[in-house]
Amino acid sequence: MLIPHTLLDPDVFQRMLEDFVTRDGTDNGYDDTLSQRVERLRRLIERGEVLIVFHPDTGDTSLSHRRDVPAELLWDAAED
């Protein structure tokens, strides 16, 4: 299930972005600040290049590049 970022409370959205960019394995090798990394991710989500995916079977939320999201999820989101 895709979750439009516009449906999230701004504080929740901010915390989600911060959580994601500080996870192990997300270091891109650059000396960017936390705010720079969060802002870069925010822009990708706002442009629709990265999508918020909720997995109802596990209750987890992840971020996926649009090209990696199954087509049926994109179609379902377009119908809503």
What is the model's pLDDT at position 67?
A: 94
Cα dist from 55 to 33, 60, 73, whole Å: 30, 5, 11
Of the two residues 76 and 3, the one the predictor is more confident about is 3
What CATH number corresponds to the domain at position 31? Answer: 1.10.10.610
Q: What is the largest CA-CA distance in the chain?
A: 41
- Please give the tally of structural domains in the chain: 1
3-class DSSP assignment, residue 64:
strand
Q: Which domain holds residue 65?
A: 5-79
Six-digit token pair at 52? 């918020």
Six-digit token pair at 40? 């870069």
pLDDT tens profile 9-58? 999 999 999 999 988 665 656 678 889 999 999 999 999 999 999 999 99
What is the model's pLDDT at position 50?
A: 96
C-alpha–C-alpha distance, residues 71 and 51, integer Å: 13
Q: Is the pLDDT of residue 60 over 80?
A: yes
